[in-house]
Structure 1
């Protein structure tokens, strides 16, 4: 069983998972993703940082939402250490439900085209490709997705 809960993005467990994600992204894409991520952006109002834990209480995944507009949030820093199946799905469901409860009607995200596993994961979970937004406009290596929250 996987438990997802709100957490402090500045604590040691969060830092460990963020660094693991950055290393994995660098290996897959050549970019660790840190240039489009700021802790402050997920540690403020209308933002949320979560950790996924296994039954032993170990942090095994993380994810966040941050505001883009009043009705659109961006999914950030989704990561599973793959020690247990279902972590990504548990994180995504929790963040989607939380975003809805926070008043958001849509989630956006960006990943890299070369990150085939992430692209398949989001498409399988109902996300559709959209025009690149914000800092991703004009970046051919980026692919952006959206999902309406019902």
Structure 2
């Protein structure tokens, strides 16, 4: 059983998982992803950091949303340690539901084209490719996705 809970991005469990994510991203893409995310970016009212835990209470995944515009939230730092199936889906479902309840109508995200697992995961979950936005404009290695949050 996987549970998802709101957490502090500065907690030891959060730090542990984000370091694992950064190391994995560096291996896959050559970039840790740290330059486009800091825990301070989670300080806003409409930002949310969550952890997934297994039945033993161990942190096994993380993810975040933060505002891009009044209606659009950005999905950040999604990570599953893949210790059990369904971690990514549990995180994504929680974050999408939370974003909708916070008044967002759409989620955007960026990943790298070479991160085939992530690209497949987001496409499988209804995300469609959009033009690169913000810091990803003009970066051929980046791919951006969007999903409307529907009723």
TM category (shorter chain) comes to: over 0.9
Cα offsets for 1:20-57 (capped at 9, x unmatched) = 00000000000000001111112321000000000110
TM-score by length of 1: 0.99
Specify the alignment match of 1:99 in structure 2.
99
Q: Which residue of 1 aligns with 2:136?
A: 136
Please give the alpha-carbon distance, in whole angstroms, between the structure 1 residues aligned to 2:136 and 2:100. Answer: 24
Q: In the alignment, which residue of structure 2 is the partner of 1:24?
A: 24
TM-score by length of 2: 0.98
> Counterpart of 1:5?
5
Q: Give the alignment of 1:27-106 within 5 angstroms.
A: 27-106=27-106
| RMSD across aligned positions (CA) | 0.5
Structure 1, unpaired ranges of 5+ = none
1:28 & 1:75 partners in 2: Cα distance?
Answer: 19
Q: 5+ unaligned residues in a row in structure 2: which ranges?
A: none
Per-residue Cα deviation, 1:70-115 (whole angstroms, up to 9, x for no partner): 0000000000011111000000000000000000000000000000
- For 2:126 and 2:95, locate their aligned partners in 1 and report how far apart those are by CA, in whole Å: 14
Q: CA deviation at 1:117?
A: 0.5
After superposing on structure 2, the runs of 4+ consecutive aligned residues of structure 1 that deviate more than 2 Å are: none
